[in-house]
Amino acid sequence: MRSYSSFRPELWLVFGFLSLIAAGALALWSIGILKSMPIDFLDALFTSTSAVCVTGLSTIDIGRDLPTASQVVLLMLIQIGGLGVMTATTAFAVVLGARISIKGRLIWAGSMGLDTPQGAVKLLIRVFVISLFAEALMSVPLFLGFLQTEPVGRAAYMAVFHSISAFCNAGFSPYSNSLVDFSSNFLVMIPITLLIVVGGMGFPVVDDVIMCVKLRRWRPSPYSRVVLKSTFWLIVLGSLLLFLSEFNGAMRGMPFSEKVMNAVFHSVTPRTAGFNSLPMTSLSGLSLVFTVFLMWVGASPSSTGGGVKTTTLAVLWASCVSEVRGLGEVRLEGRSVDSRLQRKALTVSMLYTLAIFIAVCLLTVFEPLPTSTLIFEAFSAMGTVGLSLGITSKLTPEGKLILILLMYWGRVGIVTFMYSLFRRHVPGRVLLPGINMPIG
């Protein structure tokens, strides 16, 4: 059997994102000049990268410094970046009625964590239906929520913008203080929380869950169970910790229900949406340290989010448990995790963290800012999160370039990027029964 790996799909990803970033930067820069609201090219490049890599960090105030046309371009970059360059281009071909080649299907299937191209086109169509359906559905309560403080036209625009930005885990908001003004507006907070979680679970899992409901088969695949369980526990653990940590801190004076809502929101948003309903600088040291951990973990594979991914965390955790208990094999959801998957998880987490470490070292050289804020910013950029302790607009050009590189690596995947440079051998596939799922 010919494996999809021999097509080197990583090259498509690496160059696809690169082209889109370049095109976006040129578009934002030119529109700025045309509309007499010029921005620096480096800022255009930063904003384009941040949009395509669905990060949300910004060196400019996008609600104030960008003309509406640029904001629409930004939204398109987010939508394409969120769904993934390959998903988007393949979808484009489907829409045009083109026959998609086996090669194209294999590449796309590989990027979605599928082993075979069977059902790839069908899954692709469902991806689009799910995305648009979720975004459209949640726009309704969001519209009602924004209507409480905005006129009709602007409320509709904000609903659509935040719906797309949340589902794509982009975290961009035309409001310069993100969602701080809406921390008590449940019609805004709840839909955005739901969109982030569903967008971050990854299309194959969302699809599997929908199929389970449709077919009344109440047991998702092992891969889906790993994602669902780790997502559940990370949200519960994070909410609890933030609730306790900010009860008399950043959330002092809020009613109980609002405290719960904001704790859940700030547990969900670092993985890796990047909205905030509490001012980031008002959070305690404990909350910030735990936020960094959540940003490091990130979302699930084949999703709109970044990070090392929940499946990586699950494999690392299962490996540690097996080792400590002295088991011969690593077990996860009643399956054995083969050594190749363990090595991939190890590589993803190590290279990911190494990239952040090197970036922090470089940032301390160029930026006269507190090291802790630089560490936070680097985790945020690499995880394509977009949370910041308020230093993004103060960065030097060198600092901006470092963050651009981190956002790109974070979205493409540092290991995927390394494959594109160094992978010369395709390891022979081992066909033992074992759990199979994407890592990183």
What does 372 bind: K ion, its own copies, none (CB cut-off 5 to 8 Å by kind)?
its own copies
Q: Which is nearer to K ion, 261 or 299 (CB)?
A: 299
- In contact, 262 and 187? CB cutoff 8 Å: no
- How many residues touch K ion (CB under 5 A)? 6
**What residue 274 binds from its own copies, K ion, none (CB within 5 to 8 A, per partner kind)?**
K ion
Dihedral sign of CA atoms 81, 87, 91, 93 in order: positive
Least separation in angstroms between residue 181's CB and K ion is: 20
The one segment of 29-37, 49-57, 234-242, 361-369 that binds K ion by CB under 5 A:
49-57
Q: Which is nearer to its own copies, 113 or 199 (CB)?
A: 113
From the list 9, 24, 32, 56, which residue makes contact with K ion (rule: CB under 5 A)? 56
- Distances in Å between the Cα of 333 and the Cα atoms of 261, 326, 330, 434 are 31, 18, 10, 11
Ramachandran angles phi, psi of 11, nearest 5°: -65, -40
Q: Which of 54, 318, 17 lies closest to 166, judged by CA?
A: 54
DSSP 171-194: ---SSTTTTGGGTT-HHHHHHHHH
Binding of K ion at residue 81 (CB under 5 A)? no
Partner from K ion, its own copies, none contacting 102, C-beta within 5 to 8 A by type = none
Contact present, 224 and 209 (Cβ < 8 Å) = yes
- Residue 274 touching K ion (CB under 5 A): yes
CB of 276 to its own copies, least distance (A): 19
List residues near its own copies by CB under 8 A. Answer: 245, 284-286, 288-290, 293, 316, 319-320, 322-328, 330, 339, 342-347, 350-351, 357, 360-361, 364-365, 370-372, 374, 415, 418-419, 422-428
Query: What residue 371 binds from K ion, its own copies, none (CB within 5 to 8 A, per partner kind)?
Result: its own copies
The site partner of 142 among its own copies, K ion, none (C-beta below 5 to 8 Å per kind) is none
For helices 120-147 and 102-111, give the axis angle rounded to 10 degrees.
50
The pair of three-digit structure tokens given for residue 397, joined into one six-digit string? 């050009």
386 binds, among its own copies, K ion, none (CB under 5 to 8 A by kind): K ion
Q: Report the residue from 82, 141, 204, 386 that binds K ion according to the rule CB under 5 A.
A: 386
Toward K ion, which CB reaches closer, 61 or 115?
61
SS3 135: helix
- How far apart are the C-alpha atoms of 239 and 418, rounded to whole Å? 35
How far apart are the C-alpha atoms of 189 and 299, rounded to whole Å? 19
Mask 224-263, x = binds K ion (CB under 5 A)? Answer: ----------------------------------------
Closer by beta carbon to K ion, 174 or else 274: 274
Rounded to the nearest whole angstrom, what is the least distance from the CB of residue 415 to its own copies in the complex?
7
Ramachandran angles phi, psi of 163, nearest 5° = -65, -50
Residues between 153 and 172 that touch K ion (CB under 5 A): 169, 171
- Bond prior to 272 in cis (omega within 30° of 0): yes
Residue with the two structure tokens 């900010």: 246
Q: Are 278 and 251 in contact (CB under 8 A)?
A: yes
Task: Tell me the C-alpha distance between 108 and 120, whole Å.
Answer: 8
Amino acid 241 reads L
Stretch that binds K ion, among 176-184, 354-362, 379-387, 404-412 (CB under 5 A): 379-387
List contacts with K ion (CB under 5 A): 55-56, 169, 171, 274, 386
